Structure 1
Amino acid sequence: MNKQNRKPTKYDLVLGGNNPPPIDGVVLGGIEGVEKRLSSKNFEAKLAAVTEALKYGDKGIELIIDTLEDSSEEFQYAAAKILKQQESLDAKQALFDYDPYLFFTTLKDWNHVIYNPEVGISDPINNAYIVRLDSFIRESRVAQWNGGERVVRQTFYKVDTFKALLATPQAKEITALSCQINDWNDRYENREFGIFLEAICDAAQQLPNLKALFIGDGDPEDNMFRKSYLDVFDITPILEAYPNLEVLQVCGKFSDYPFECEGLKHDCLKTLIIETADLSDYNLEEICCLDLPELEYLEIWLGRRMRRNEVDSLSSILNYNSFPNLKYLGLKSGEDSDLVAQAIIDSPILKHLSVLDLSMGTLTDAGVEPLLNCPEIEQLDTLDISNNAVSEEAIGFLSEIIYNLIADNQANTPYDSYRYSTLHE
């Protein structure tokens, strides 16, 4: 977006000096003063200027969007969060036109801070507090039949840190939590997710303002390209316990325990992210049959090879039944991305999507060909096919019809060679 000439005239009163003005102070020089604050190196002053700029309509929105072009990622998401909270449709549309990924509400909209009981809660509105499942190992000696002894090590888990957070007076104001299970050890006795899940659901009355939640294996920022063996039991209790939740992100293994969530309705959820390297066909179908009328962003890591008849599990999504407000669809890390691409082409969903994400999979030129021959693909704002096995020639053809094509990190293999998805390489 091109900047207009906004230099002050000789009669304008503008701020001078290098020190940022008080965040709540009077902005001198009108929009010129706001522009000066937006160029400040002080993070808080810049955020305050974003709110002030909104008072100037289209000119203020243009200023904010221009600022995003050369700002830090932290500021981008903080400014985007302010824009998304406005009633102005122009502000939201301008943000979407600039970067659709900033438009959607995800956990990136919050600053991630490890909860320290000695420090407490300083900013329950803008911080996503990280709490981890506490673990300790207990050793015991067991007598052997031959008179000797062997040492048995058992891992026990508790949620003391989470309970300490709930005991703070500010807990009721918390809007985002990141519940991480980092140090689980026993693959054959995965109780960890269930322990944390029960604690979170029991705390629903103490967290009435919770809008965003991550629960699962590790840090959500570090899960890319990493396979998880943590068994996820179900997400239904979370959705039932938190009817006002807007963002749910879960990382783990979704194959051993069946979900029973078909038809479950949640009226507020806008973003659902399922990160896995192992998603059973049954659980995929259950997730796809959730009733989420406000869902805008759906990201599912397919995580395994799908037979042709198993693509039918995606029918509720692709036929646009359960998620009428969907704008972003991510079907990532698939072992049969070409088959998934064909299923999308054969469905009515492309007419409604703005962003299609098929990254981290096995997409080849064979899967790109039906995309190129589909007229509806041209209405996409963004197509992400990064981390696949698509040729430079096919990428060139796609770039001619897609406004924003993301196609970096392609495997150096012939288009007809088989490639494992990113999580299985």
Structure 2
Amino acid sequence: MTDNQNQPRDYDAVLGGQSPPPVDGVVLGGIEGIKRCLSNPVTQVRIAALSEALKYGDAGLDVLIQALQDKSRLVQRFAYRLLKQQAEPQVKQALQTYKPWNLEERLNEYQGYNVTQFANRQVVEFDANTSITEPLNKAYALRYWPYENEDNLPSKFSRLLQESNADKLEALVFGLWEEEAYERNSSGIIEALVDAKQYLTNLKAVFIGDIISDECEISWIQQSDISPILQAYPKLEILQIRGGDGLQFSPPIRHDRLKALIVETGGLSRDTVAQICQMNLRALEHLELWFGSEDYGGNCWIEDIHPILFEEKFPNLTYLGLRNSQFTDEIVSLIVNSPVIDYISVLDLSMGTLSDAGAEELLNCSAINNLDILNISENFLSQAIIEKFSELDVRVLANNQNKEEYDSYIHSRYCSVSE
């Protein structure tokens, strides 16, 4: 793209006054008018200005590249979508450093093993032979091993807090906390973590419940009220929970830095979803919910996620994962008419019950082409419909499709993780 003059031209309106243009109006004053609008506090005004930027050659590209750093995720995403279509070297370089979403580990297939990666960090087991050597780049895991002669989890945690660089530690993983996790909930771990806030002053990522099926089935894991963690750790950016039984987020909750909330369950209560929808998480970029089976407490339905899709509860979302659901087709029917599809980068519907009929609704939604990634793995799709998705200008993940079991005594389609 060659440079055009920065002056107003034949198709420009005349710059006048200090009032911002209407949201759907013409940007005044050429490239200088666009730059002026980008200082406007109204997000939609800044987006309207960017829509004119490509008319101004390299100067317009520079404006779009700068907009990748805008305080609004919506403005960033709009600039990103325009730049993706350009081939100039400076654009390619800018897009290499800009990451609209950076938790690729969440696209990995759920294997039912203890995590080896968490919060973009390698997980290291903390035990009697371990010390904290890389507090920033590693996530340290504490867990109770029922078949080995080791310390219990509370004593391991106490020893971790005595490490000289515990105050620099950024990521913690808590696994099995008792030999029979289905009888005792996570409240003891939550309380211990809250009491340790004066030691873990740099904590940014926590996973409560890295428990595998050999230790306790996911639907049997007894969780508790998680909200004290959010109150105790204002720097927290990633919170991951496994297990939905007893899970609560007692309102009111406000957290200004939490970027990712991940809830993995074999059955998610609609009461828990309602509490999540009441949370004030203005920085949230990644919301991932595993709904699970009605046979294991999963009583959610489409009306329970309506606030997420239509009320812009979390306006900075980049990733939306509505996973492991028995009503994926119904979710799709809502999403294709929802404003959320216009600003997220990643839509994850994996591990669910998406059928060819639901997939056709996605294909008929033009906004799907604005996504970077669409994950529809582990559903119930035919090869013919998957081939249609390959025609989209989107990275589509469609691995490990299931076949309907018409003779099943429960359902012909089922979510991947339940008990």
Q: TM-score with structure 2 length normalisation?
A: 0.67
Q: Deviations along 1:305-361, whole A, 9 cap, x unmatched?
A: 599983121122112522111010011100111111112112111001111000001
1:113 to 1:136, Cα distance in 2 relative to 1, 3 A:
closer
1:339-418 alignment to 2 at 5 Å? 339-413=330-404, 418=412
- Find the partner of 1:419 among 395, 413, 418: 413
1:377 to 1:136, Cα distance in 2 relative to 1, 3 A:
closer
Q: Deviations along 1:148-168, whole A, 9 cap, x unmatched?
A: xxxxxxxx9760000010011
Inter-partner Cα distance in structure 2 for 1:322 and 1:382: 22
Inter-partner Cα distance in structure 2 for 1:198 and 1:89: 48
Inter-partner Cα distance in structure 2 for 1:256 and 1:304: 16
Give the strand-richer structure, 1 or 2.
1
Q: 1:132 — aligned with what?
A: 143
- Find the partner of 1:177 among 172, 175, 186: 172
Q: 2:19 — aligned with what?
A: none
The answer as to 2:265 corresponding to 1:276 is yes
- Find the partner of 2:127 among 90, 108, 116: 116
* Contact 2:227/2:248, CA 8 A, preserved across alignment: no
Inter-partner Cα distance in structure 2 for 1:228 and 1:357: 22
Q: SS of the counterpart of 1:420?
A: coil
Please state how far the C-alpha of 1:120 moved relative to its aligned partner.
1.8
- Find the partner of 2:95 among 84, 93, 96: 93
Q: Which runs of 5+ in 1 are unaligned?
A: 1-87, 138-155
1:184 to 1:414, Cα distance in 2 relative to 1, 3 A:
closer
Q: 1:287 — aligned with what?
A: 276
Q: 2:224 — aligned with what?
A: 233
Q: Which runs of 5+ in 2 are unaligned?
A: 1-89, 107-116
Please state how far the C-alpha of 1:179 moved relative to its aligned partner.
1.2
1:186 to 1:383, Cα distance in 2 relative to 1, 3 A:
closer
1:89 to 1:312, Cα distance in 2 relative to 1, 3 A:
farther
- Find the partner of 1:218 among 211, 220, 226: 211
* Contact 2:270/2:298, CA 8 A, preserved across alignment: no
What letter corresponds to residue 314 of structure 1 in structure 2? I
Q: SS of the counterpart of 1:162?
A: helix
* Contact 2:101/2:318, CA 8 A, preserved across alignment: no
Q: 1:85 — aligned with what?
A: none
What letter corresponds to residue 346 of structure 1 in structure 2? N
The answer as to 2:307 corresponding to 1:316 is yes
Inter-partner Cα distance in structure 1 for 2:168 and 2:91: 27
Inter-partner Cα distance in structure 2 for 1:393 and 1:233: 44
Q: Deviations along 1:254-306, whole A, 9 cap, x unmatched?
A: 24455423x51111011111111111111111112211111111111011359
The answer as to 2:191 corresponding to 1:198 is yes
Q: Percent identity?
A: 36
Please state how far the C-alpha of 1:97 moved relative to its aligned partner.
6.9
RMSD: 3.5
Q: 2:162 — aligned with what?
A: 167
1:35-46 alignment to 2 at 5 Å? none
Q: SS of the counterpart of 2:322?
A: strand
Please state how far the C-alpha of 1:217 moved relative to its aligned partner.
3.9
Q: 1:144 — aligned with what?
A: none
- Find the partner of 2:254 among 265, 278, 281: 265
1:94 to 1:257, Cα distance in 2 relative to 1, 3 A:
closer
* Contact 2:218/2:242, CA 8 A, preserved across alignment: no
Q: 1:333 — aligned with what?
A: 324
Q: SS of the counterpart of 2:175?
A: strand
User: How many residues are treated as equivalent by the alignment?
Assistant: 313
Inter-partner Cα distance in structure 2 for 1:186 and 1:310: 28
Q: 1:242 — aligned with what?
A: 233
Q: SS of the counterpart of 2:198?
A: helix
